[in-house]
């Protein structure tokens, strides 16, 4: 089973790339953003809690995110693998994910980071906010707050996955196709090394 985490700041292209990678490698794409939006749209209790945090530009509490994610993995337990997009964001989430996947006889094969400079991400997010209607993408201060949260809570994950020899990074700048080719080549190389 091929389980991959796509890693990167908001706007790095995780969702765009995950959509292609899931089809190419026949994986189930689990995007915490999509989980949040679906739960918000359906006005579930977890969705209402998630919305209150997202509207402030803050990260959703672990318990809410983890409950949504576990449900999605269990519902797709016969899949060839998963591509996790937007989770884990903290070491504690990574540890909970490892324990949960282990209980399902699964593990993470690799964490791949899409690295993009902040000024490029800001421009991407503002443009996305104009077309998507997402409030958290329309305010530069909220965007920068999301970057601060990411740096504070998520960057320590790099060392966590490096210590497990599961961390890889590629440049997330360039055309969508160029980034996609780099990702596919990296994942194929990882599969060869298994």
Question: pLDDT tens, 70-84?
Answer: 888 998 989 999 999
Is residue 129 predicted with pLDDT exceeding 90? no
What Å distances lie between residue 43 and 33, 47, 63, 67, CA to CA? 15, 6, 17, 16
Write the pLDDT tens digit of every residue in 89-128.
Answer: 888 889 999 999 999 999 999 999 999 999 999 999 998 8
Exposed/middle/buried for residue 20 (C-beta within 10 Å: 0-12, 13-18, 19+): middle
Residue 81 forms beta bridges with which residues?
2
For residue 31, which of 18, 42, 21, 44 has the smallest C-alpha distance?
Answer: 18
pLDDT at 33: 77
Rounded CA gap, 146 and 132, in Å? 18
pLDDT at 150: 87
pLDDT at 113: 93
pLDDT at 73: 93
pLDDT at 83: 95
26 Cβ contact list (under 8 Å, min separation 6): 80, 81
pLDDT at 61: 83
Report which DSSP code applies to 150. Answer: I
Is residue 192 predicted with pLDDT exceeding 90? no
Is residue 194 predicted with pLDDT exceeding 80? no
pLDDT at 38: 87
Is residue 151 predicted with pLDDT exceeding 90? no
Section 122-148 average pLDDT: 87
| CATH number listed for the domain at residues 2-116+154-193 | 3.40.50.300
The answer to whether the CB of 90 falls within 8 A of the CB of 150 is no
pTM for the model: 0.82
Write the pLDDT tens digit of every residue in 14-71.
Answer: 888 999 999 999 999 998 878 888 889 999 888 888 889 888 888 778 888 888 898 8
Section 140-158 average pLDDT: 88
Report which DSSP code applies to 59. Answer: P
Section 158-184 average pLDDT: 94
């Amino acid at each position: 089973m091929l389980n991959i985490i796509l890693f990167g700041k908001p706007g790095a292209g995780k969702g765009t790339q995950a959509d292609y990678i899931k089809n190419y490698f026949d994986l189930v794409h689990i995007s915490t953003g999509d989980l949040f939006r679906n739960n918000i749209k359906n006005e579930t209790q977890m969705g209402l809690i998630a919305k209150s945090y997202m509207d402030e530009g803050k990260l959703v509490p672990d318990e809410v995110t983890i409950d949504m994610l576990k449900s999605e993995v269990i519902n797709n337990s016969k899949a060839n693998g998963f591509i996790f997009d937007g989770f884990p964001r903290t070491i504690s989430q990574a540890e909970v994910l490892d324990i949960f996947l282990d209980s399902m006889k699964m593990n993470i094969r690799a964490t791949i980071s899409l690295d993009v400079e902040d000024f490029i991400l800001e421009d991407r997010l503002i443009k996305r906010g104009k077309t998507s209607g997402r409030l958290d993408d329309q305010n530069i201060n909220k965007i920068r707050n999301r970057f601060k949260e990411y740096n504070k809570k998520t960057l320590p994950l790099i060392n966590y996955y490096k210590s497990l020899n599961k961390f890889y990074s590629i440049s997330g700048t360039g055309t969508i196709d160029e980034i996609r080719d780099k990702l596919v080549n990296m994942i194929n190389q990882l599969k060869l090394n298994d």
